[in-house]
Amino acid sequence: MPTISDGLWAAPGRVNLIGEHTDYNEGYVLPFALPLRTYASASIVDSPQWMVSSEQQDDVVSFGPEQLTPGGVQGWAGYVAGIVWALHESGYEVPGARFALRSEVPVGSGLSSSAALECAVLTALCDLGDLDLPVPDRPKLAQRAENRYVGVPSGIMDQSASTLCREGHALFLDCRTLVTEHIPFDLAGAGLAILVVDTRAPHRHTDGEYAVRRRTCEQAAATLGVPALRDVTDLAGALKTLPDEVSRKRVRHIVTENQRVLDTVALLRDGKLAEIGPLLTASHASMRDDYEITVPEVDTAVEAALAAGAYGARMTGGGFGGCVLALIDAPAAGAVGDAVTRAFA
């Protein structure tokens, strides 16, 4: 990749082990970091201008203060402009900079390529400008950039995972309080592995369905008289109160998914890694039947992995395409991978 002399920064993509669409409902999530990263090589420039190039893109994008309004820069470079905007909005003096980007995180696969980009750029600007932004506060700023500048109504999970995850652990995040706990997740020690399958079915949040799910949840919470669906304690009563089947299905997913996260954390704390498999599979069924965010390619991959002996499998990410994860015995990785490939033949 092109190198720019002042430094090189990186942030990882993530896999969400369990807890899908619970983050913007102020619930619980359990992601872990991927070894795949987005790299930002950066150098300060003398003027308040920002220039961005990427190995994955043909164009070089430049923008100045006049574009630091939501939506002022469109496309992939908008994620960089969004970080500059969010820092400005928070009162920071952001240095002008030139960025050269390279990403190992597949774009559009539900592995948080956008959050990895945001967090790599944010870390670079904080270091280059000597900005006093504590690391625990950075996910919230990056989320604000994606929500308000780019226009994607994502929750806090992706930026938290990209910033805070530790090797060998999953990040148990309470998306209301932002309290985190690093849960041991030593797959190799247990003779296990997570197989991540990219179905190549494009994963697109900005197509609108993600935002529709979020609005439905917010409206359901208002109908139920709770701040967020995380606060629903009587699921049966809630389902009787809601006036339509779509709302009932969405609420059932969120409430049961939050419980699955808590159950998964309890098993991991006890070192029972293989026993989380049925929870992963139940999560997928809930996403398919109640949240209605899977697609045929994703369902096919899950079914093939389970038929080949996976302990559990589920779609990971916001849905409508993307990746599947399967919990397997480590020696079976090749066989399970081949079985999934054959299912698409």
Radius of gyration of the chain (CA): 20
The 8-class DSSP code of residue 9 comes to: E
E strand map for the chain: 7-16, 28-29, 31-44, 50-54, 61-63, 97-103, 169-174, 180-184, 192-198, 312-316, 323-329
CA atoms within 13 A on the CB side of 263: 14
Q: What are phi and psi of 13, to 5 degrees?
A: -75, 180
Q: Is 290 a catalytic residue?
A: no
Q: How far apart are CA 318 and CA 207, in angstroms?
A: 12
| Catalytic residue, candidates 59, 130, 158, 198 | 158
Burial-class residue 299 by CB neighbours within 10 Å (0-12, 13-18, 19+).
middle
Place of tokens 């559990």: 312
Q: How far apart are CA 228 and CA 141, in angstroms?
A: 21
Beta partners for 197? 324
Q: How far apart are CA 35 and CA 12, in angstroms?
A: 7
Distance between first and last Cα of the chain: 35
Mind telling me the catalytic residues? 158
